[in-house]
């Protein structure tokens, strides 16, 4: 005869499954219109609708940045369940992490400029940064970290840095001059749905971004972390193992 505990567990599991199905359905419904909006806004910025004023261009660029945040939110909602259940398919290939960092610099340059932030990328002239990974997924990790830094930093700087802390290891870190995070909250940061109290409610977010970053980095046998002090900014980082050019 089932116990109350087992009945409660079964009920909780069913509720969780219903939540996941609902989130997946909503995310799928949002994806198509968000993609269409992005396309139309990009076309206007590229001049397909004729000349527009600099002021209008700024408004459209801001709208495009918000749209990009929502696209990342939708992707996070769709991916989290797949990753947890081991159902996410990875397309592995070799890529230089420096190239991924450069893409992030280009993608977030306009948003950082609009906030008046000093936005930079630091890569040594000699770097061992070839990794074997799913390019789209590691792009997602870097985009989440850079997006958070730009989003929560009101003035000062955001810097992306790529380095080799030791032989055979590549490290990417995103350093900012934002509000910083308390030691207590740092221990909770990478948990599912957790949001820092000082920033909750101020910006669009789900509390899934860093959780997904952790899941993905660990899927690739890497590690991820944060170093921060209140009012002194934050540095989010991850490390991966590099591969030799002759390795497949």
For every residue of 77-143, DSSP letters joined together read HHHHHHHHTT-----EEEEEHHHHHHHHHHHHHHHHHHTT-EEEEE--SS---EEEEEHHHHHHHHH
Domain span at residue 146 reads 92-241
For position 30, which CATH number holds? 1.10.287
Q: Distance between CA atoms of 34 and 214, rounded to whole angstroms?
A: 26
Supply the pTM of this predicted model. Answer: 0.77
What is the model's pLDDT at position 112? Answer: 94
Domain count, the chain: 2
Q: Which of 209, 217, 215, 207 is nearest to 238 (CA)?
A: 217
For Cα atoms 16, 22, 86, give the angle at the middle one, nearest 5 degrees: 60
The residue with greater pLDDT, 242 or 202, is 242
Both ends of the chain: CA-CA distance in Å?
54
Q: Distance between CA atoms of 160 and 98, rounded to whole angstroms?
A: 10
How many C-beta neighbours within 10 Å does residue 78 have? 17
* 246 domain-assigned: no
Does residue 200 surpass a pLDDT of 50? no
Does residue 59 surpass a pLDDT of 80? yes
**End position of a domain, from candidates 50, 84, 118:** 84
**Do 123 and 237 fall into the same domain?**
yes
* 136 domain-assigned: yes
Pairing of strands 118-122, 157-166: parallel
What is the model's pLDDT at position 1? Answer: 54
Of the given ranges (68-82, 141-155, 204-218), which has the lowest mean pLDDT? 68-82
For position 122, which CATH number holds? 3.30.565.10
Q: What is the mean pLDDT of residues 95-113?
A: 94
């Amino acid at each position: 005869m089932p116990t109350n505990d087992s009945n409660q567990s079964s009920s909780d599991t069913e509720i969780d499954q219903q939540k996941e199905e609902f989130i997946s359905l909503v995310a799928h419904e949002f994806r198509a219109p968000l993609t269409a909006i992005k396309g139309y806004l990009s076309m206007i910025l590229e001049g397909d609708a004729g000349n527009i004023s600099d002021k209008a261009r700024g408004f459209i660029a801001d709208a495009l940045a918000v749209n990009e945040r929502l696209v990342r939110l939708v992707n996070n909602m769709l991916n989290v369940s797949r990753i947890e259940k081991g159902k996410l398919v990875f397309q592995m290939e070799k890529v230089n992490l420096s190239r991924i960092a450069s893409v992030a610099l280009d993608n977030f340059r306009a948003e950082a400029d609009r906030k008046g932030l000093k936005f930079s990328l630091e890569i040594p002239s000699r770097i061992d940064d070839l990794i074997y990974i799913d390019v789209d997924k590691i792009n997602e990790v870097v985009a989440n970290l850079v997006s958070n830094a730009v989003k929560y930093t009101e003035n000062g700087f955001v810097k992306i840095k790529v380095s080799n802390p030791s032989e055979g290891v590549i490290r990417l870190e995103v350093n900012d001059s934002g509000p910083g995070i308390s030691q207590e909250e740092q221990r909770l940061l990478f948990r599912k749905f957790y949001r820092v109290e000082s920033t909750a409610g101020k910006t669009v977010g789900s509390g899934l971004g860093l959780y997904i970053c952790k899941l993905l980095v660990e899927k690739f046998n890497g590690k991820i972390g944060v170093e921060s002090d209140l009012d002194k900014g934050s540095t989010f980082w991850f490390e991966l193992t590099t591969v030799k050019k002759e390795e497949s």
